[in-house]
Amino acid sequence: MRKFIFLVFLLSFSANVFVQAQAATENAPSWGIRFTGFIKSDYWFDSRRVVAAREDLFLLFPASELADREGNDINAHAGFNYSAITSRLTGIISGPDAFGAKTSGVIEADFSGVTNADINGFRLRHAFGTLRWEKSELLFGQFWHPMFVTEVFPNVISLNTGAPFQPFIRNPQIAYTRYLGRHSLQLTLLSQRDNASDGPEGPKPDYLRNSLLPNAHLQWQLKAGPFTFGAAADFKKLKPKLLTDSLFITKETFNSWAFMGYAKYVNHILALRFKTIYGQNLTEHLMLGGYAVRNIDPAKGFQSYTPTNHLFVWGNITYGTRVQPGLFVGYAKNFGTTHQNAGVYYARGHNIAYLYRIAPSLSFISNKVQISTEFEYTSAAFGQPDSNGIVQNPTEKANLRALLTFFYFF
């Protein structure tokens, strides 16, 4: 009898412990990190040599004519490549409230390295945390530059994501967003890291850092049902040199501005996206432009600078879910430098009068697998810039890229 009573007591105690443990598990906070990402493999063919990054995976535009001793164009040469370096791992972080705000974070990396010399290197893409209150949000860390606009960017297959017509840049930053019903207003202060402005010592973040002012960005956005609209202004100051070539301290700086407008319409099968930018000195965004030396003091080597001015416009349409055709069209126009210049440029494509791209695509999507193909026709009009930076007697050179991409999402 005693053994029976003891057994009943033991079973009752064990059941109670199990129920309490299960309740504690169910009520425990779901803090931690969840990993997502994809395995991605690209296969492509180019009809011409190109200006690109990451072993030509990140295509910008076709290379200009380069003649051999008999006048033949060396760059009129086709090529192909395969790559899986943009396979990606993303950690989505959740945590307890802080300062009365919901907290979250993201850390993301891939294997494309920071430069071509670092291909297959594990490199940081994003690393940021957020504090979200009822009507405001604070983001701190490395994330897309707000001119990328995470709500409105091209849905294309190519890694370039529409560059050089669309900004493609990630920055260390502090961003504050105020939510006003359907409207939001964002102020962002940014530095530069992997994507940096060009200058006398090549692309470096030092030119912005030495100016003592962060890149400042103000953006308004409206979300109304299936529609999204936005407008923004962007300002930065650069100090290209601390010393002249004659070893005199120089304090010369210059300013540049960019203005942007965009729109999007999305329902369950159709997406329409549009963006236009009129901007100066957008080299670090992997777009056309930069700046030129305006004047040079022959005695001490002091230099002043003048930015380039470009217009960028793109539109993108996709339709469907399991079978998804798409089309991207982009155009860029060079309006020269703000002032006359001395012919020394720190810029990308300063000898291109205009640039355009037409890129139809087709994707087949089944659960976690996507197989996509895209034909990307990009044409650049090369010429010789005059003293105002206006390209004279442009001649078009074009490249056709045939791209096949496999995704496995997890």
Q: Please tell me the number of Cα atoms within 13 Å of 362 on its side-chain side.
A: 3
Residue 81: C-alpha distances to residues 55, 77, 84, 371, 404 (Å):
8, 14, 11, 18, 11
- For residue range 295-340, what is the model confidence (pLDDT) as tens digits? 999 999 999 999 999 999 999 999 999 999 999 999 999 999 999 9
pLDDT tens across 364-382, in order? 999 999 999 999 999 999 9
Residue 281: HSE in the Cβ half-sphere, 13 Å Cα cutoff: 27
Residue 80 — pLDDT band, cuts 50, 70, 90? very high
Nearest one of 277, 361, 347, 339 to 313, comparing CA atoms: 277
Picking from 245, 264, 241, the residue whose alpha carbon sits closest to that of residue 151 is 264
Query: pTM, whole model, 2 decimals?
Result: 0.91
Q: What band does 343 get if pLDDT is binned at 50, 70 and 90?
A: very high
CA 2 from centroid of its chain's CA atoms: 75
**Over the range 112-126, which residues count as b (16 or more CB within 10 Å of their CB) and which as e?**
bbeeeeeeeeeeebb
Give the chain's mean pLDDT: 93
The greatest distance separating any two alpha carbons of the chain, rounded to the nearest whole angstrom, comes to 111
Angle, vertex CA 31, rays to CA 30 and CA 33, nearest 5: 115
Buried-state track 202-230, b at ≥16 Cβ within 10 A, e below 16: ebbbbbbebbebbbebebebeeeeeebbb
Percent of the chain with pLDDT over 70: 93
Q: Which of 230, 340, 324 is nearest to 271 (CA)?
A: 324
Q: What is the DSSP string of 36-58?
A: EEEEEEEEEEESS-EEEETTTTE
pLDDT tens, residue by residue, 4-36: 443 334 334 444 434 444 544 455 467 899 999
- Residue 370: what pLDDT? 98
CB–CB of 249/210 below 8 Å?
Answer: no
Render pLDDT for 32-66 as a digit per residue (tens, 0 to 9): 999 999 999 999 999 999 999 999 999 999 999 99
What structural domains does the chain harbor?
A: 30-409 (2.40.160.10)
- Report helix, strand or coil for 134: coil
| 121 has pLDDT over 70 | yes
| SS3 state of residue 367 | coil
Tokens linked to 30:
């779901």
Q: Looking at the predicted structure, is the pLDDT value of residue 358 above 90?
A: yes
Model confidence over 213-269: pLDDT tens digits?
999 999 999 999 999 999 999 999 999 999 999 999 999 999 999 999 999 999 999
